[in-house]
Amino acid sequence: MRNKTVLLVEDDLDVRDTLQDLLESEGFEVIPAANGLQAIDYLTLNDPPGADLVILDLMMPMVSGWEVLEAMEADDRLSHIPVIVLSAMGGEAPERAHGFVRKPFALETLVAAIRGALGETGDGVHAPN
């Protein structure tokens, strides 16, 4: 079985690099994107989109995470891809998000949210429906 591919959309290079290393050590293939424009380009230029899940920062330059969520919702090829939102902002999770993890966070919290959104247990086995 292939590793799940995570599109990691985070404008802070240190956070992006650290998360990429940690998620790869958890067995995920990670595609990094520095902003929402790169994320939308990656998702729309690949057929199929090439990501099993998107981890998305909301506050980014050029194209925000909110705009990425809107673009994904409007595209039938992307609307089924689960999204985990990372944000230092308070408030409610975006309606489209499958998970909302507030910064700062523990890696275990993020991994649990990812596995839950992918329908997996901690050992990579799909949870029953």
Domains, the chain, with CATH or none: 5-117 (3.40.50.2300)
According to the model, what pLDDT value does residue 90 have? 67
Q: In what order do the strands lie in the sheet with 53-57?
A: 29-33, 5-9, 53-57, 83-87, 99-102
Spacing of C-alpha 98 from chain mean position: 10
Where do the DSSP E strands lie in 1-129? 5-9, 29-33, 53-57, 83-87, 99-102
Cβ atoms within 10 Å of 122's Cβ, excluding its own: 10
Give the pTM. 0.87
Q: Is the pLDDT of residue 81 over 90?
A: yes
The arithmetic mean of pLDDT across residues 70-81, rounded, is 94
Burial class (CB in 10 A: 0-12, 13-18, 19+), 5: middle
- Quick one: tokens of 41? 């380009």
According to the model, what pLDDT value does residue 123 have? 46
According to the model, what pLDDT value does residue 38 have? 95
pLDDT band at 126 (very low <50, low <70, confident <90, very high): very low
* Beta bridge partners of residue 101, listed in sequence order: 86
Give, as one character, the DSSP assignment of residue 48: S
Q: Is the pLDDT of residue 124 over 50?
A: no
Q: What is the pLDDT of residues 35-56, one digit of tens each?
A: 999 999 999 998 888 899 999 9
